Structure 1
Amino acid sequence: MKQYNTRAIMASLLICGFIGMFSETALNIAISNLMDVFHISAATAQWLTTGFLLTLGVLMPMTGLLLQWFTTRQLFIFSLASSIAGTLIAALALNFEMLMAARVLQAVGMGLLIPLMFNTILVVYPPEKRGAAMGFVGLVIMFAPATGPTVAGLLIEYFTWHYIFWLSLPFLVIGLLVGLKNLENVTEVTKPRIDVLSVVLSTIGFGGVVFGFSKAGESAGGWTSAVVITSIAIGLVTLVLFALRQIFMKEPMMNLRVFKYPMFIVGLLMVLSCMMIILSSMIILPMYLQNGMKLSAFSAGLMLLPGSALNGILSPRMGRLFDKYGPKWLVIPGLAIVAATLWFFSGITQASSIAFIVTLHIGLMIGISMVWMPSQTNGLNQLPPELYPHGTAVMNTLQQVAGAIGTALAISILTSGMENYLHKSAAPNAVNEVAQAMTLGSQNVFLFAMIVTLIGLAMAFFIRRVVVKHAAMNSMH
Structure 2
Amino acid sequence: MRVKLAILSAGLLSFVGILVETSMNVTFPTLIKELHVSLSTVQWLTTGYLLLVTIVMSTTAYVMKRFDAKNIFIFAASFSLIGGILALVAPNFWILLVGRLIQAIATGLSTPLMFNLIFAKVPKQKLGVYSGMASVVISLAPALGPTYGGILTSIWSWRAIFIGVIPIIIIVGFFGISTINEKAIGIQKGTFDYIGAIALAIVFTSILLTFDQAGNYGWYSIRFWIGVILSVLFLGIFLLYANKGRRKLLDYRILKLPLLRLRLFNYFSLQLINIGMSFVLPLFAQTVLHCSAMQAGLMMLPGSLIGAITGPIAGRFYDQHGAFSPLLTSSILMLVGTLGFFFMTKSLTVMSTTFIYVVMRIGFNTGFGTAISDGSLQVSFKNKADQNSLFSMMQQYAGSLGTNVLSVVISATIVMHADRSTVINTMNGSHMAFLAVSILGILVLCSVIYAEMKYGHQRTDN
With normalisation by structure 1, the TM-score equals: 0.88
Contact 2:146 2:282 in 1 (8 A): no
Q: 2:52 aligns with which of 51, 55, 76?
A: 55
Matched residue, 2:301: 305
**Could you tell me which of 428, 444, 449 is aligned with 1:456?**
444
Instruction: Give 1:359 deviation, angstroms.
Output: 1.4
The answer as to whether partners of 1:146 and 1:304 remain within 8 angstroms in 2 is yes
Q: CA deviation at 1:447?
A: 2.5
Q: CA deviation at 1:299?
A: 0.8
C-alpha displacement at 1:75, in angstroms? 0.9
Larger RCO: Structure 1 or Structure 2 (Cα < 8 Å, ≥ 6 residues apart)?
2
| Alignment correspondent of 2:3 | 6
Q: 1:269–1:385: structure 2 CA closer, same or farther, 3 Å change rule?
A: same
Q: Measure the CA separation in 1 of the matches of 2:227 and 2:435.
A: 28
Distance 1:132 1:191, change over 3 A: same
Q: Structure 1 residues 322 and 74, CA, compared in 2 at 3 Å: closer, same or farther?
A: same
- Kindly indicate whether residue 270 of structure 2 is the aligned counterpart of residue 282 of structure 1: no
Q: Structure 2 CA distance, aligned partners of 1:319 and 1:172?
A: 28
Structure 2 unaligned segments of length 5 or more: list them.
none
**Mapping for residues 10-409 of structure 1, pairs under 5 Å:** 10-193=7-190, 194-213=192-211, 215-216=212-213, 218-221=215-218, 224=221, 226=223, 228-230=224-226, 233-249=229-245, 252-409=248-405
Classify the secondary structure of the residue corresponding to 2:59: helix
Question: Which whole-Å CA distance do the structure 2 matches of 1:117 and 1:420 have between them?
Answer: 44
Q: Shift of the alpha carbon at 1:170?
A: 0.8
Q: Which moved more, 1:164-173 or 1:8-17?
A: 8-17
Equivalent position SS for 1:161: coil
- Helix, strand or coil at the partner of 1:346: helix
User: Conserved in 1, the CA contact under 8 Å of 2:67 and 2:183?
Assistant: no
Q: CA deviation at 1:294?
A: 1.4
Deviations 1:270-293 (A, max 9, x none): 112212322333322222222222
In our comparison, the structure showing a higher alpha carbon Rg is: 1
Q: Distance in 1 between matches of 2:39 and 2:416?
A: 22
| Sequence identity percentage | 25
State whether residues 348 and 439 of structure 1, in contact with CA within 8 Å, keep that contact through their aligned partners in structure 2: no
Counterpart for residue 474 of structure 1: none
Decide whether the 8 Å contact of 1:381 with 1:466 is kept in 2. no
Larger mean Cα displacement after TM superposition, 37-46 or 26-35:
37-46
- Provide, for residues 323-364 of structure 1, a one-character-per-residue CA deviation record: whole Å limited to 9, x for no partner: 111110111122112222322222225544433222111111
CA separation of 1:220 and 1:163: change in aligned 2, threshold 3 A: same
Q: Post-superposition shift, 1:384?
A: 0.7
In structure 1, distance between residues paired with 2:268 and 2:382: 23
- The answer as to whether partners of 1:143 and 1:311 remain within 8 angstroms in 2 is yes
CA distance 1:315–1:440, shift in 2 (3 Å) = same
Query: In the superposition, relative to structure 1, how do residues 232 and 441 fare at CA in structure 2: closer, same or farther (>3 Å)?
Result: closer
Q: Which digits, 9 at most, give the CA deviation of each residue in 1:113-167, with x for residues without a partner?
A: 1111122211111222111111111111111121112111221222222211111
Q: For 2:288 and 2:139, how far apart are their aligned partners in 1?
A: 25
Alignment RMSD: 2.5
Deviations 1:89-115 (A, max 9, x none): 112223333222211110011111111
Query: Aligned pair in 2 of structure 1 residues 26, 282: CA closer, same or farther (>3 Å)?
Result: closer
- In the superposition, relative to structure 1, how do residues 465 and 124 fare at CA in structure 2: closer, same or farther (>3 Å)? farther
Q: Matches of 2:126 and 2:183 in 1, distance apart?
A: 17
C-alpha separation in 2, matches of 1:442 and 1:205: 27
CA shift for structure 1 position 436: 4.6
Q: Evaluate the alpha carbon distance shift between residue 42 and residue 408 of structure 1 in structure 2; reply closer, same or farther with a 3 A threshold.
A: closer
Q: Distance in 2 between matches of 1:199 and 1:417?
A: 34
Letter in 1 for 2:377: N
Per-residue CA deviation, residues 30-52 of structure 1 (Å, 9 max, x unaligned), is 22323333333434433322321
Q: Are the structure 2 counterparts of residues 334 and 155 from structure 1 closer, same or farther at C-alpha, using a change threshold of 3 Å? A: same
Give the deviation of 1:468 after TM superposition: 4.8
One-letter amino acid of the counterpart of residue 353, structure 2: I
Structure 1 unaligned regions, length at least 5: 471-477
CA displacement, residues 33-92 of structure 1 (integer Å, 9 cap, x when unaligned):
233333334344333223212312322211111112211111111111111111111122
The answer (yes or no) to whether the contact 1:220–1:412 under 8 Å persists in 2 is no
Secondary structure (helix, strand or coil) at the match of 2:374 reads helix
CA distance in 1, matches of 2:355, 2:127: 31
**Deviation larger for 176-185 or 335-344:** 335-344
Match of 1:445 in 2: 433
Separation in structure 2 between the aligned mates of residue 180 and residue 361 of structure 1, nearest angstrom: 38
Offset from partner CA, 1:190-216 (integer Å, 9 cap, x none): 132123322332232233334433x24
Contact 2:40 2:407 in 1 (8 A): no
